[in-house]
Structure 1
C-alpha cells in the first residue's frame, strides 16, 4: 500500500509557490526542496483528475475488443468525392479528386484536377463524367460521401495557391 502524503504537504500545495517558499524555505522551517516540491504540489492539486484518468485507462485496457466479420462489408465497393475548397457555402471549388474503397481498403484514386476557371455547371459535368467511368469499372453510380479539404492541402504541383 502506498503511503499517503503528509498533511503538511497537502496544506502547502494550496498556497502559492511564493507563499510556500516563505513559509517552508530558509526563513521558515527549511523543508522546501525545489527538486521535489514543485511536482509534489502539482500532483496534490490535480491528484483527483490524475487518478481518474489512470483509472479510466486501466478499465479501457481490460475491455475486450470484438471484431465482427461481415462478408458483405469487405466486398462493398464505394467512392468518396474529395473536394478542395475553403469553408463556406459560396466559396469556389479549387480542385476535385475521388477515392475508391473496397471495405476498409483504398483500392484506387482519381487524381485531383484544378477547377480554376470552371463554372459550377462544368464542375458538375466533370463529376458526372467521373461517375460514368467509375460505374463502368466498379459499378459505382453515386458517391457514398463527400470530403471537403482545405485548398492548402491540394496535392497538385504546380498549384496557383503555392506559387
Structure 2
C-alpha cells in the first residue's frame, strides 16, 4: 500500500536492501490490480460456453440403476438414522424401497440389510450395485412416528 518512493526508501539501500527493480515493480502492479484481474478472469470463465453434441437419451432410456439413500447427520462418525433406495430407468423413477429406521442396529446389521436389498434389486431389476449414495439429513426422514419429530406413541415415563 506504500507508494513506490516509500517502498524504495523502506526496502532500498537505506532500508533492508531487498528492493529489486526487476521484480518489485511488476509485483506491486500485480498486487494493486489483483482484484480487477481476478474479476475479469472469473467473468471470462463464466461466459465460456461449451458446446456439446446433442445427447442421445434414447440410448440410456433402458438403463436401470439404483440409488441408496441414507438418512444420517453430516460427519464420518454419525449414526445411520434410516435407509431407503430408489430404482430408476433412464430419467424415470421405477420403484421406491420404503425407508426403515436403523436406530438400534449395529453397522454389520445395516450392511447385511443393504446386501439383502441389493440381492432383491438384482433379482427384480438386474441392478448389481448402487450407482450413487445420497445422504439426507435425519430431519427429512419420512417415517412416522420418528424420534426427530417427538412423535413417540404410547410412551410412558
Q: Specify the TM-score bucket, using the shorter chain as the normaliser.
A: 0.5 to 0.7
- Residue equivalent to 1:129: 116
Name the count of aligned residue pairs: 103
More helix by share: 1
Q: CA RMSD in A?
A: 2.0
1:60-71 equivalent positions in 2, closer than 5 A: 67-71=54-58
- Residue equivalent to 2:143: 156
- Residue equivalent to 1:88: 75
TM-score (norm 2): 0.61
Instruction: Say whether residues 1:99 and 2:86 are aligned partners.
Output: yes
- Residue equivalent to 1:147: 134
- Residue equivalent to 1:74: 61
Q: CA deviation at 1:94?
A: 0.1
Superposed CA offset, 1:50-91 (max 9, x none) = xxxxxx9xxx9xxx9975224331110000000000000000
Superposed CA offset, 1:77-128 (max 9, x none) = 0000000000000000000000100011111110000000000000000000
> Which consecutive unaligned segments of at least 5 residues does structure 2 have?
1-42, 151-157
Give the distance between the partners of 1:146 and 1:72, measured in 2 at CA.
24
Q: CA deviation at 1:161?
A: 1.1
- Corresponding residue SS for 2:139: helix
- Residue equivalent to 1:111: 98
Give the distance between the partners of 1:89 and 1:106, measured in 2 at CA.
29
> Which consecutive unaligned segments of at least 5 residues does structure 1 have?
1-55
Where does structure 1 differ by over 6 angstroms across 4 or more consecutive aligned residues?
none
